[in-house]
Structure 1
């Protein structure tokens, strides 16, 4: 019986060992599966974050385009008004006519208020030059003198060129950049 007990003991030990081995393998596989599941979740979260980032970037770009389009439309409208007024003032010398006075008033309103909101630095510099030339022409005793007229025409031309160049640019003005930042 000693042999039977030994065999019985060996079988029990082997059974316990096999059971422990099975449990160890099960735990190992469980951990591997959980690690793979965590990696998959991490990948999905990163993917979702990238998608959110792309959506945020797309919204930012769309807002930039919409804001810039509104700004450029407003700028174009004001530039058109300024060009029309300056065109009149450069070609008419009857300072006392009602139409001239109305155009002069409109020019000064554009100069001091409306253009200030949309003009670029080169347009501003050209407008200052035009205003100085116009003031000199209006104050002169002999407005028909060609040098004053030429100065106003040249300054008017500089305004037109600077407006044309400004209109070509589709960059976001500095004041709008901070409002659009995501």
Structure 2
């Protein structure tokens, strides 16, 4: 039983090691463009122009240019962020359960008594889905940029929007 708990703890620690940023790896961000008429366009940002943005929709192959005057708000989320949040949350739930189980100690001998290791495994298994759910909720968060159809707002955020471009080198034209 002790070996199983030690293995679970090692797995939990490996989540934090694998979550480190790697240099040079490009990240994909999905964009949600809320238009002033309340329509939404989903896709990937590929270019920032002086008075428009260019995106590739999920369902279209040709780029779509959207005028800044028609944009109410831009929202971005890194691709795979929900899954990463679930993994980190699951590891945290497992670790928290193991800590709670170990800290409660062994029960007094009797009809139904458990060792601290047994409690750690059971608590870890019970808190794993809770942590995964919380991690998934945290992963659904999006970065928001209120444009409100105004060029001044767009220009204020333009340098920050560069990081969301799918293919680098096509930013300003």
State TM-score, norm by structure 2.
0.28
Larger Rg: 1
- Structure having the higher helix fraction is 1
State TM-score, norm by structure 1.
0.27
